[in-house]
Amino acid sequence: MFSAGESSGDQHAAHMFQALKSLYPAVRGIGMGSVKMRQSGIDVRVDSSGIGVIGLIEILKHYGEIRAALAAMKRLLLSEKPDLLVCVDYKEFNLKLARFAKRHGVKVLFYVSPQVWAWRPGRVATYGKAIDMMAVIFPFETVYYEAENVPVRYVGHPSVDKVHPQRSRPEDMQAFNLDDSRSVVGILPGSRGNEIMRMLPVMLKAAEKLAHDHPGLQFLLPQADSVSDELLNSYLSASPLSVTVVKHQPYDAIQCCDAVMTTSGTASLEIALLGVPLLIAYRLSPFSYWLGKQLVKIPFIGLPNIIAGKPVAREFIQHALTVENLAAEMESMLYDQAYRSLCLAGLKQVKTLLGEGGGSRNMAALALEMLEIK
């Protein structure tokens, strides 16, 4: 049984299940997720597309839906009695579900560690009581769990394996009707509805400023599977900018870009792995931002920066998220060759630090180990 509440978790669970089927074809998967999990063959009984939100205020707005989803998952667990529950990220929801599963004798494998090293390290012991194994995707995370005697395994980051375009860049440029002689700017406003509403307007305004100052630029937006056409078009139709929207081919779209503006999260890491210079932008409600500032104990929010331990992609958070700041940074990455070279060197370091990959297959092997299947 899988429990994934967000777009990135939906992808991680799908890739893990595909690897699991290749090792043990008789496996059956059920649970909560979205498009990618369905495509992988998991029987999705609870749709998570409406509950992937970030920030306390945002969570409170969707509290009824989240609570209903948790109740549905508890009922599903009792009726199906799975051999293993795999909780993928979505930390507070999955902590509650994990506790419930443990009380009813179901083994729990937690995939993608809550970022306890960034906030509230004391939570390690709390998670340790609710799970049978923590699978971490960054090598530095194991020490936090080992210190509390919580079973932990480093499996590698799943993005290393899956972030590969299907075609060459020239083929993609042709497929997306882009001119190879003109620079391409990528716009990635997020995979959640509330992110689109907060991030896309300012990103489009920054893009409009860039287009005015550099008339030859082209603009590309890889549409997340979890974002509806209606929501996206409500913003794009109000902008004078010509934007090429690409569906279901994020890595092919990103490799066409010369620089990208993106929200924080898995997307920022995927762009870094593809070697495309990027900036990271984010905005929460004022209270959620204030609360986050009290809790978060590290200087970065972007995964490429956290992994490198230094800023390899500039972050524009809350008040720093302005049209002028985004446009100026994009301009530097596109036209300042010395700065661009520095950005590219930092991205290579991130890729080296993440290693060779194999995360999904390692997760599948770990699940079989917990199921005691040879």
Q: Is the pTM of this model over 0.85?
A: no
Quick one: CATH architecture of 2-158+358-370?
Answer: 3-Layer(aba) Sandwich (3.40)
- Cβ–Cβ contacts within 10 Å for residue 106, how many? 20
pLDDT of residue 162: 83
Instruction: Report whether 18 contacts 40 (CB < 8 A).
Output: yes
pLDDT value of residue 117: 61
For the chain, the domains span 2-158+358-370, 169-354
Per-residue pLDDT of the chain (374 residues; tens, 9 = 90+): 999 998 889 999 999 999 999 999 999 999 999 999 999 999 999 999 877 666 565 666 777 889 999 999 999 999 999 999 999 999 889 999 999 999 999 999 999 988 766 555 678 889 999 999 999 998 888 988 999 999 999 999 888 888 999 999 999 999 999 999 999 999 999 988 888 999 999 999 999 999 999 999 999 999 998 899 999 999 999 999 999 999 999 999 999 999 999 998 889 999 999 999 999 998 876 666 666 665 666 678 888 998 898 999 999 998 899 999 999 999 999 999 999 999 999 999 999 988 878 899 999 999 999 999 87
pLDDT score for 55: 59
Cα gap 118→298, rounded to integer Å: 5
2-158+358-370 shares its CATH topology with 169-354:
yes
> Does 3.40.50.2000 match the CATH number of domain 169-354?
yes
Q: DSSP secondary structure string, 39-108? A: HHT-EEEEE-TT----SHHHHHHTHHHHHHHHHHHHHHHHHH--SEEEEES-HHHHHHHHHHHHHTT-EE
SS3 261: strand
Kindly report each contact of residues 50-53 with a partner whose C-beta sits within 8 Å and lies 24 or more positions away, as own/partner. Answer: 50/193, 51/5, 51/93, 52/5, 52/6, 52/7, 52/90, 52/191, 52/192, 52/226, 53/192, 53/194
